[in-house]
Each structure stands twice: as structure tokens, then as C-alpha cells.
Amino acid sequence: MGKITEALQKAAKERINRLDKAVKIQEQKQFVARKMKESKVDARLIPYFNPKSIISEQYKSLVTNLLSLNKGKPPHVIAITSSIAQEGKSITALNLAITLSHAMHKPKVLLIDADMRKGKIAKYLGVGEHTGLSEYLSNDAQLDDIVFHIDIDHLSFIASGKVPSHPADLLASARMNELLRQLRSQFEYILIDTPPVIPVTDAVIVGTHADGVLLIIRAGETQRGIVNRTTELLNQAHANIIGHVLTGIEYFVPEYIYRYL
């Protein structure tokens, strides 16, 4: 009788192991980012073309600062926004994502284009329009339909998708919460490019989902009062502003520094 019991227990364990293995395989398949065959990356993505340039070094400094936040326990989901349009937030988000994916420990990075009104991430990556966030949040696509990567190691992206009727409602939905919950377990860092804060509420909504918000400011152009109003709106939503990035800065680089780099 003991041998029969042992045989039954062994058979049961084998079935459980097979089921666990099948579930793990299914989970792995669910989150495989599909490779894009061709891309024409925008020339402004400097870390992609020249990772040793002066500009690339500035992004490396930004990554170093981010990774050192909270005593070496940095935020894993970061929303990137600006006060108004034309401040360089999308290019900054892409350059930051590329630089972060090249960090020493090679983290898995995901960039989400949550600007479902005027999303440009797919365009800047040169891959055209693709099924993206709006289709997923509208229940017209599944996760493995929207996650892609090109020839940048450790970096995947989700395009904005087609322009929906009510972007803010989709971002505030339970499905958005569920999406981020799933993605947190698959990627070490998630960067979310959002619309500007002043014109629409989208960035404020996303900011509440994120662990931190980076505010992009164009030097010499964005007025202080506008930045203060943006900060006020994010604070009212209890979004955690973790830093500011100045874009459009021009400065002289001594020749000896340039030669060193």
C-alpha cells in the first residue's frame, strides 16, 4: 500500500511540475517583444549613434543621478513630461531610455508612448505607425500585440497607437493600472512619455501611476510662471517630482575635454 501511495504522489508531483512549466512558458511567450525588421532612427537620438559624445555623457550623468535616488533604490516607473509643447520631452525620453538600457548592469527597459494625442516615439525610431497603447486600453489588442523592440539591446517600446476619442479616460482606467502591474514584473525600468501638463490632464493622470516624474524644461524659453503652475498641478495630484531636465542649452566645451571624450 505504501508503494502505491508513493507512486501516486510521484505522479501527482510530475503533473504539477508539468503544469508549472507550461504556465512559465506561456508567461514568457506572452511578454516576448517582437523584433522590427527595419528602422530609420532619428538623428537626434545621439546615444544611439555616438555613445561617447558630449551629449551622450550628459545623459549618462542623468542616468547616474536617477540610479542613485533613494539611497540606490531608484523609481522603476518614471513619467516624463513638460509644461508645454516643443520642450524636447520625447527626444529626452528616448535618449534617456537608450542610455539607461546601456547601463553597466544591462537592465531591461521599456519606453511607453502615452501621448495618445500626438505620439512621436515610433516616428523617431523610424518604424512608422503600429498598434499601441490606445488599442490595448480600448481592449482591441493584447500585450504581446503592442510591445516591440528594434536593434537597441535591452530596450523595448510601446507606441501610442491610433488617436482615441477620450485619451484621459483610458489612462485613468483600471486597464492602465493592470498594464503597469504586468509590466513591472517584466522590466526593470519603465519610462512613460506623456503629453505636456498645461494643455491636457493626461500627464497628471500618468504621474499618479508612476513612481516619479521628470519635468523637462526648455532653457531660455519656458516661463517661470508656467513651470510653477505645472509643478502645482502635479503636486495637487500627489505626483512625485524627482527632478528637472533642461534642454536647449548651448555651452562651450574646451578642446582638451573634447579630446578626452
Whether residue 234 sits in one domain with residue 131: yes
Interatomic CA distance for residues 244 and 159, integer angstroms: 24
User: Is the four-CA dihedral 98, 99, 103, 108 of positive or negative sign?
Assistant: negative
Whether residue 5 sits in one domain with residue 99: no
Q: 3-class DSSP state for residue 158?
A: strand
Taking each helix axis as running N to C, give the angle between helix 54-67 and helix 89-101, from 0 to 180 degrees, rounded to the nearest 10.
80
Question: In this predicted structure, what is the pLDDT of residue 108?
Answer: 94
Q: For position 51, which CATH number holds?
A: 3.40.50.300
Whether residue 73 sits in one domain with residue 123: yes
Q: What are φ and ψ of residue 148, in 5° steps?
A: -130, 165
Whether residue 82 sits in one domain with residue 17: no
- Domain count for the chain: 2
Interatomic CA distance for residues 119 and 112, integer angstroms: 10
Whether residue 223 sits in one domain with residue 200: yes
Q: What are φ and ψ of residue 174, in 5° steps?
A: -65, -30
Whether residue 102 sits in one domain with residue 15: no
* Secondary structure (DSSP) of 160-217: --SPPS-HHHHHTSHHHHHHHHHHHTT-SEEEEE---TTT-SHHHHHHHHSSEEEEEE
* Secondary structure (DSSP) of 231-256: HHHHHHTT--EEEEEEES------HH
Whether residue 46 sits in one domain with residue 26: no
Whether residue 120 sits in one domain with residue 15: no
Whether residue 26 sits in one domain with residue 37: no
Whether residue 24 sits in one domain with residue 39: no
Whether residue 24 sits in one domain with residue 113: no
DSSP tag of 32: P
pTM across the whole model: 0.80
Whether residue 217 sits in one domain with residue 231: yes
- What is the residue-level pLDDT of the chain in tens, covering all 261 positions? 555 556 545 555 565 455 455 444 444 444 444 444 455 777 788 878 888 888 888 888 888 888 888 777 889 999 999 999 989 999 999 999 999 998 878 899 999 999 999 999 998 888 876 789 999 999 999 999 999 987 788 999 999 999 999 999 999 999 999 999 999 999 999 999 999 999 999 999 999 999 999 999 998 888 999 999 999 999 999 999 999 998 887 654 454 444 443
Question: In this predicted structure, what is the pLDDT of residue 126?
Answer: 85
What is the span of the domain harbouring residue 15? Answer: 1-30
